[in-house]
Every structure is written in C-alpha cells, then in structure tokens.
Amino acid sequence: MPARPTCRPWRALTAAALLCLPLFAQADDRAMRDALAAARQQEWQRIDDRAIEGHVLAGYVEYHRLRDRLPRVEPDRVLDFVERHADSPLADWMRGQAIAKYGHAGRYRHLLAVADGEPAGTTRQCYYYTALLDRDPAAAAEGGRALWHAGRSQPDACDTLFDTLRARGEIGELEIWERQMLAWQDGESGLARYLGRLLGDRWQADLDAVDRLQKDYAAITRVPSCIGPDCRGSGAFFAAAMHGFVRADTEAALEAWRKIAPHLTIADRHRQAIEHDLIFYSLVREVRQNRAWGDQALAGRSDPDLLELRVRTALADRDWQGVIDWVHRMPDETRRDERWQYWLGRALEKLGDEATAQRAYAAAAQGRSFFGFAAADRLGRPYALNLERNGFDEAYRERVARWPAVQRTEALLRIDEPGLAASEWYAAVGRASPREARALGDYAQRRGWHAKLVQTTIVGEMWDTLEWRFPEAYRDHFLHWGRMTGVDPYLLMGIARRESAYNPEAVSPAGARGLMQLMPGTATQLSRQLGIGDPGAYGVLDPELNIRLGSTYIRDMLDRYRGNRLAATAAYNAGPGRVDRWLAEAPEEFDLFVESIPFRETRNYVQAVLSYRAIFESLANGGDSQGVAMLTDAEKTVRYDRSLLARN
C-alpha cells in the first residue's frame, strides 16, 4: 500500500490534496459531488441538504434548484441569489437563466425586474427588447432594428419583437430590403426569398434586378442606378452585388465599379465598404492591373489592414521607397508597432539612410516580439524583456488562500469539476484589482496550475509577468526529449506554449490534441515510426508522450529543412508541402521569408514560437537575455529558397 503523503497546508497541495483533508471535509466533498450530480438531473430527493449545509459550494446546488423553478419563482428570489453570489459566476448565470425563462414564458415584468441592461446573447436580447416594447418603445425599436439587420436567420425568440416592430412601422420596407441584401451577401438564399415576399409590388423591378445579377454580376453596369423608393435601397443593393462580384472576378469588378461609381448616390459607408473589398482582393490576389487605382484609393484611407497589406506587397516587390511611404501613411498606433518600425529601418538601410534606420531599429527593439528581437540583433543589443516580478509575504498569501473564490475553485477541483473551477477562477481574476490579480497569479504559480496561470495573465492583462506567462511547465520532459531527439528544448517549449498554452487536455476544433497539438493520425504514424503502441485519441493527451511525439515530428521537419527552425516551425503549423512551395517562391532573406508567408495564422505562429523560445531561454538564465539569440547566424544569413530542402 502506498505511503500516505506528508500533509502540508492545503493550498500548496496537488494530487494529494484530498488525502490531506480532514475526514469530515472529505465526507462533505463526497456529499457535495453527489448533490451536484443529483441537482443536474433534478433528482432533489437524492440530495442530503444537511450533509452539504455550509459547504463552500452549496450555492451550486441552490443554483440548479432555483433554475429548475423558473419561470414560476418571483424575481425577488432571483435578485436575492444574485446579490448573495455577486462574487461568483453563479450570479451572471442565474440572471441569464431568469431572462431566458421569463422571456420564453412571456413574463416580461419579471424579466425587466432581474435584467441589468442589455444581456448577452441574441435570444436573451430579443426577449429583453420584447419586454421593453411597452415600457420603452424607443429603446425597443432601436435594439430590435439592430437585431433585425443580420444576414442570417435569428432565433424564434425574436419573432414577437420583429412582428410588433413591423406592425408599428419601426421596421418597414427599407429595413426588409436591407436585410434581404445582407442575406444575399451572406449566401442565405432561403432567408432572402422569404424577405423578398414581404416587400410590396413597388419593389418588383428591384427584385428582378437582384435575380439578374445573381446570374451575371457583369450586368451591374446595366441595372438602374436608382433602387427602391427615392433611391433609398441603392446603397445596400450595390454593396451586396459588388461584394459577390469582387470575389468572383476582382479585375472585372473594378472595371465595372469605375463605370458606375460616379453615377451612384449611396451612403459613404456603402461606398467605403465596396472600395475596401476592391483594394483588399486586388492586393491579396496580386491583380496588377488594379494597382494604380488601388494606390490612389488607398491614399485617402487609413484602414490598418489595407495599409499593412500594401506594405507587404511593397516588400514582395523590393520597393523600399514604397515601404517607407506606406508605413508613414499608417495610423500612429499601427505605425509605432515594432514590426513596422523594423521594416521602416530595413527600407531606410537599403536606401542608404543608416542614421534614420538606426533610430527606427531602436524604436522596434523596445518591443518583446519577433521583429523587436530581430531589430535588437541588428543593433547588437540584448532583448528588451521588460520583465515584471511580483512577491507577496506569507501573511498576505494566507489571506488570499481564504478568499471565497479561491476556496470555491479548490473545492471544485477536489470534486472533479475543472470547467466550473476555471469559470470561478477567471471570473475572480476579471473583477480583481491589479494587485489582487497578481496575488491570484502568485497562487496559481505556487499551486502548479500551469495552464490556468497562463490564462490568468491573459485575463488580468499581466503582459510583463513573463515567469507566469511562460512557466516552467513539464520542463524535465522537454529537456529529456529535446536531448533524446537532438531538438532545442526551448523550441519545444515555444511550440507547446503557442499550441496549447500548456493545457495538456487541449483539443482543437480540428481534433489536434495535447500540449503540442498532435492530430491522432499523426500520433499514430509517429508511434509506428518509434516502434511503440498507438496511443489512441486519449493516450496522446499524456504530457510526456505528447512531448515525445511532438519533438519527434519537429525533429523530422528540422531534418527536412537542414536544421532551419523558421522553415521547420512553419511546417509544424502549415504542413511541409506548403512550406516546400513557399520556399520555391521565397524572397531569400529570413525576415522577408517570414513576412511573405501567405497564411496569417502561420506567419504569426512562426514569429510567436521563435520569440517564445528566446524568452524561455532568457528566463532559464534568470531573466537575463544577454547572450540569448532568437536565431542562429546561419538562420539569419542562409538563402530561403529550395536549397533549404535536404532532398532537393
């Protein structure tokens, strides 16, 4: 029989926590686990109320009991619960449940009694504004119209609101037309047909125009420029039509737009949306014939996304003066980002203005990112980590351990409710003061809650607490399998941090699993390669095995690209086939290769992983980046082309 673990203060325990609790506390937890399971099934007779009386989680059972009685219960009961549990997510959950149940039952006076302004979620918003139809008709009309203007079907909860607003004339034929255009734009043909049937005969010619363009976008130059009564439907019509045309044939769409634009009387927001699409797709699809018009149109705009695209296009063309000009056109906040200061420095350096280039690099080097570190490398400076450290005395830590939210989190973990525990914890961080949030971060760090610690820094916006944002999670496994596979362990840490934020049970929508986010098929293939058993979809969640398989995969990618971590990291995210193609068309220098990656996700992924690995190495050095290099000299000087392929 295993020896009983030595019992330390409960807040410092990990897997042995339950064994170190007093026997009555263990019994209380078992009773609470059983009571919560029964409450979820509405099996109230199974709940021993005396056994859970006074338990820190008793509110969870009360929540289910009160929710089950909705909408019959009076709002005073709901408000009393909300007030008593104001420091827990239970309060918001109960308020939301009451709004939904009262709304569905048509008990609008009760709904407004418990509501605290516009609720979250379309269904609850529709109930809320339905409740306001008589009490505050103007607010109901404003909120209802906002919900109406959607290109997709809204929940049934909106029917009464929409029907009433239509009967009152707050939603008229113009609003119906505008929504039909949104539905057309979103490809919701069923909704578009339904809305078309709601329009009167005077819209028939306009509906015919829609049918014509759906068959042939090029006919846009031959339809009337005035759509709807007093031409008030023109903007929505041409915005929807051009939305489809630009995506179908960007070059032809611009040619048509230049013909019709001078003759249209439409709102500026519609014109701006059309031209944004034209500029965007012309740049993304590299439609050279549209370049002159696009540059002229873009010169009068300040859209960060379009200007960033234009700079990247100038980089691809090696148009260094264009890089400078377009960076200077960016809004101040965008232009000050280290990425664009770095590229400004590169362009100035290429054109021989060394002094100004050095100032741009110095501005970029203040940032803690891929391009901030790349700028520091060009200046020969250590990386600016801007590391924040926090310390708390034991007396304060004892108080933190007694905070109700902390005790509820611990209790939820003890009864195997990690999802509820996470909700409690992040709600506490979200409402905490900066010092309190850092105290919670300190608590999570001492408890070894690696994934929760990372998310705590995100919720609390503690961007400089690097030792918490990049914790020493599973360090021994990374060092061991890095040594066994010959892979830089800090690279492995950077990949895991980016892939899962150190959540060993993370599962992506695509099915990737674990710390290093391996697809089950990839895990099977790697296991076969290593001569070990197939772990299956759940075995791959084991942290050590996941790290072993992930380190093997990145090793194979490094072998494929002659040890180059930029290319290998890109392949880990996007697949080697794509990276092979990108190298065939690559712009040769490392920074241009990274900036030229066509997938935004992969482009950001590569930058994050390589900058993260530099941070991990710096933290291993006590927070000192002196002597730490994000890239090797070879990675900074090699040609990024097909010569990187080991089997070229």
For the annotated catalytic residues, the residue numbers are 499
SS3 of 425-460? HHHHHHHCCHHHHHHHHHHHHHHCCHHHHHHHHHHC
Alpha-carbon gap, residue 625 to 616, rounded angstroms: 10
Alpha-carbon gap, residue 474 to 296, rounded angstroms: 54
Going by the DSSP 8-state scheme, the letter that residue 155 receives in this structure is P
Residue 218: C-alpha distances to residues 42, 240, 407, 529 (Å): 61, 14, 65, 55
Alpha-carbon gap, residue 165 to 118, rounded angstroms: 18
* Alpha carbon of residue 93 to chain centroid: 23
Alpha-carbon gap, residue 239 to 273, rounded angstroms: 7
Buried b (16+ CB within 10 A) or exposed e, 259-284: ebeeebebeeebbebbbbbbbbbbbe
Return the closest-CA partner of residue 282 out of 300, 299, 294, 298. Answer: 294
Residue 98: C-alpha distances to residues 84, 93, 158, 268 (Å): 16, 9, 17, 42
How many other CB atoms are there within 10 angstroms of residue 645's CB atom? Answer: 17
Q: Which residues pair with 518 in a beta bridge?
A: 513
Return the closest-CA partner of residue 573 out of 605, 596, 542, 598. Answer: 605
Return all residues near 520 (Cβ < 8 A) that are at least 6 apart. Answer: 511, 513, 536, 537, 540
Residue 89: cis peptide before it, omega within 30 degrees of 0? no
Alpha-carbon gap, residue 591 to 375, rounded angstroms: 11
Q: Which residues pair with 507 in a beta bridge?
A: 513
Amino acid 499 reads: E
Return the closest-CA partner of residue 615 out of 458, 454, 385. Answer: 385
- What token pair was written down for 117? 């302004």
Going by the DSSP 8-state scheme, the letter that residue 6 receives in this structure is P
- What token pair was written down for 423? 């909700």
**Mutual angle of helices 450-459 and 434-447, in 10-degree steps:** 170
Return all residues near 492 (Cβ < 8 A) that are at least 6 apart. Answer: 478, 481, 482, 516, 547, 550, 551, 554
Alpha-carbon gap, residue 71 to 608, rounded angstroms: 49
Phi, psi of 18 (to 5 degrees): -65, -35
Please name the helix (run of DSSP H) or strand (run of DSSP E) that holds residue 240, with its range, or none: helix 234-248
Is the CB of residue 213 less than 8 Å from the CB of residue 220?
yes
- What token pair was written down for 94? 């109960």
Alpha-carbon gap, residue 138 to 132, rounded angstroms: 9
Look at residue 501 and give its three-state secondary structure: coil
Return all residues near 298 (Cβ < 8 A) that are at least 6 apart. Answer: 279, 306, 307, 310, 329
Residue 23: C-alpha distances to residues 19, 20, 50 (Å): 9, 9, 17
